[in-house]
Structure 1
Amino acid sequence: MPGVIPSQTLTRMIADGTIVSATPVTPAQIQPASLDLRLGTTAYRVRASFLTGHGKTVAERLPEFSMHQIDLTGGAVLEKGCVYLVPLMESLSLPPGLRAVANAKSSTGRLDLLTRTITDGGTEFDRVADGYHGPLYAEICPRSFSVLVRPGMALNQIRFREGKAVLDDAQLTALHAEETLVDGTPHIDDGLGFSVDLRPRDDTLVGYRAKPHTGVIDLAKIAHYPAREFWEELHTDQGRIILDPGAFYILVSREAVTIPPDYAAEMAPYLAMVGEFRVHYAGFFDPGFGHASAGGNGARGVLEVRCHEAPFVLEHGQIVGRLIYERMAESPERLYGREIKSNYQGQGLKLAKHFV
């Protein structure tokens, strides 16, 4: 059946050599509808981000851009504002008809770590061609904070698809009538629209803005760093804030969303005409996110926002993104928030798991 490949099929793909790694893939890497990808032992500081291009390999292009090589074995700092290329532990040997898309993990996006996957012969970031055979690389650019990384850490994840998986608006409307995908009246137009919450019920805290001069974040340390040392609280009782160009914000959607067990979703930006800002870095929503069958009761979407060009007024209820729903090829044996340890099930406004 066409659709997104579930966890139990990912396990079979590892066993049959479709997903390859010299270091065995661990069960913790297998998510309901995606696979976490691990950093290898070496990082390359590069002059600029690049795409490989048709008929060329990353290894062939790397000497054009590489500045120096970094051994990650004992831990190494990736510095804010620099671009790095890291070979990943996993590689692929996809059969015809199977393609993949990658994205940053939730905590990666909330740290403003721009992390994208590139492949040999690739002409797009985060897209793996039908039937691809070859290595995978992570391009990492820390935007707000310098970070300490080690081999085996997972900053991005990959999702596999076969055939047509995306629901059109009519199918999405029918699914909402059956499952109630979002509280309130749905805005369905090329996906399920969601808006920003700038009028919280019990407080004036609406979000956080990254501080410009902070210490290093060790990605292995969970619930360790005082939030006040890295983030400035944003308060308003007016239902609007002004975004500063170049600043990074953590905000939250007004709507609580649900992903039923037979579906997955991906966050996509809204029309560029609504404002020059980006609203997401990490975009996968697993089956069971916010769903009652996985212990949820709806969950807000955390928005990772960066403003471009000019100051921009963001107002309560303004639609800033959309969720693209996809069918699963079959129901996953593991759901988000139930069988796996999920840091963000039932979330509201929440920073990355590294902060107290």
Structure 2
Amino acid sequence: MTGVLPSQAIAQLIDRRVIDAPIPVHRDQLQPASLDLRLGSIAYRVRASFLAGHGKSVAERLEDFTMHKVSLDGGAVLEKGCVYVVPLMERLALPADIGAAANAKSSTGRLDLLTRTIADGGTEFDRVPEGYHGPLYAEICPRSFSVLARPGMRLNQLRLRRGEARLGDDALARLHGRTPLVDGTAVIGDGLGFSVDLGPGRGDLVGYRAKPHTGVIDLDRIGAYAPEAFWEEIRTRRGQVILDPGAFYILVSREAVTIPPGHAAEMAPYLAMVGEFRVHYAGFFDPGFGYAPAGGAGSRGVLEVRCHEAPFALEDGQIVGRLIYETMEEIPEQLYGSGIASNYQGQGLKLSKHFSPAS
């Protein structure tokens, strides 16, 4: 069998100690097609982001890059603009036919909290080779807001797969023919394209821009913060927003997306030639996201957008990213939005769960 491993298969790997931790892995870390990873108790403040590289361990590289250590016990502030490496509780002893990919959780991305996974011998972020035995680390760089972190917090997640799982364009088109993946014309080319919605049906609110000088966000506090203390509303009736270099925006896709139960997806950037911006691709899309029996005919994707070197005029309907669909090895026992805490099922334009609903 090949494909992305569902929650029940991940649970079996935990039972066999293929995935292990000094504090036992909790079943509530299991998502339909991934496992939430937990921060350990020490954060290393480093002078630069790095990868271990062939034949080297992250611990060895930390000796070269560490400026000082920060204990997370009792909570510690990870400051905006700084880079930290935190050993994760989970470690792996993967079989030779199973590899893994990691990604930031949705709420992590919506805080512009750059979180990437690194492994011993790694030459890429967020990629763990087949048969890997060793520890995992999170590289954390708060880019818009300083955050208060503690041991056990879950900022990123791991998706395991056996063999080739990605759907080619022909297979993706056939899947869309059986189960519509978007509520309109499917733009298929190296994945499923999606565009930005800058033409609101009601009012003129189309997004949010992170304020440059704010307080600290405690990552454990849900619904505790007033949006206006951290975000500026972006309003337009022209179907256009000019992005400022270095600024971070929360926008939303025009398309309502569906992930059928036998598939999973991952957000990926669109062609760099389309403009001076990047849609941050935090978060995996789980089986059942936007699926009708799970609570709605499609859910719109929230876009985490950062502008680069020059101001850029983003237009309503412009394609800004793509979804890469993969097959599941089995349908998960529990789907996204069906009996589990799924914060973003049926979503529209929405900030992270840390903020109270906008008035």
Deviations 1:123-152 (A, max 9, x none): 000000110000000000000000000000
- The residue that corresponds to 2:129 in the other structure is 129
2:250 matched residue in structure 1: 250
The alignment status of 1:50 with 2:50, answered yes or no, reads yes
| Structure 1 residue 83, shift from structure 2 partner | 0.2
Code of the aligned partner of 2:194: F
Shifted more, 35-44 versus 287-296: the winner is 287-296
- In the other structure, the counterpart of 1:298 is 298
Deviations 1:141-190 (A, max 9, x none): 00000000000000000000111101111111110010011001110011
How far has the Cα of 1:254 moved from its partner? 0.3
How many residues of Structure 1 are paired with residues of Structure 2 in the alignment?
356
Q: Which amino acid aligns with 2:352?
A: A
Question: C-alpha separation between the residues in 1 aligned to 2:227 and 2:112?
Answer: 15
Task: Find the counterpart in structure 2 of residue 192 from structure 1.
Answer: 192
Unmatched runs of 5 consecutive residues or more in structure 2: none
CA offset digits 1:268-323 (Å, max 9, x no partner): 00000001211024131000000012123210000000000000000000000000
Matches within 5 A, 1:157-168: 157-168=157-168
User: What does residue 261 of structure 2 align with?
Assistant: 261
Q: Corresponding residue for 2:336?
A: 336
How high is the TM-score relative to the length of structure 1? 0.99
Q: After the TM superposition, which residues 84-233 of structure 1 pair with which residues of structure 2 at under 5 Å, given as runs?
A: 84-233=84-233
What is the letter of the counterpart of residue 52 of structure 1? A
Distance 1:84 1:242 in 2: 32
* Percent of residue pairs bearing the same amino acid type: 73
Q: Following the alignment from structure 2 to structure 1, what is the Cα–Cα distance between the partners of residues 343 and 109?
A: 14
Return the offset for 1:203: 1.8
Shift of 1:250: 0.1
Q: Which runs of 5+ in 1 are unaligned?
A: none
Letter of the structure 2 residue corresponding to residue 266 of structure 1: E
- Aligned partner of 1:76 in structure 2 is 76
Distance in structure 2 (CA, Å) of the matches to 1:249 and 1:289: 23
Confirm or deny: 8 A CA contact 1:43 1:87 kept in the other structure. Answer: yes
8 A Cα contact 2:269 2:281, kept in partner: no
Q: Distance in 1 between matches of 2:91 and 2:217?
A: 28
Structure 2 distance, partners of 1:162, 1:63, is: 34
1:89 to partner: Cα distance:
0.3
Runs of 4 or more, structure 1, over 2 Å off, are none
- 1-structure distance, mates of 2:236, 2:315: 11
SS state at 1:279 partner? strand
State the one-letter code of the partner of 1:342. Answer: S
User: Cα distance, 1:339 vs. partner?
Assistant: 2.4
Letter aligned with residue 105 of structure 2: K
Q: Which residue of 2 aligns with 1:313?
A: 313
TM-score (norm. length: structure 2): 0.98
In structure 2, C-alpha distance between the alignment counterparts of 1:251 and 1:198, rounded to whole Å: 8
- 8 A Cα contact 1:265 1:323, kept in partner: yes
Contact 1:268–1:283, Cα closer than 8 Å, also in 2: no
Question: Residue 237 of structure 2 aligns with which residue?
Answer: 237
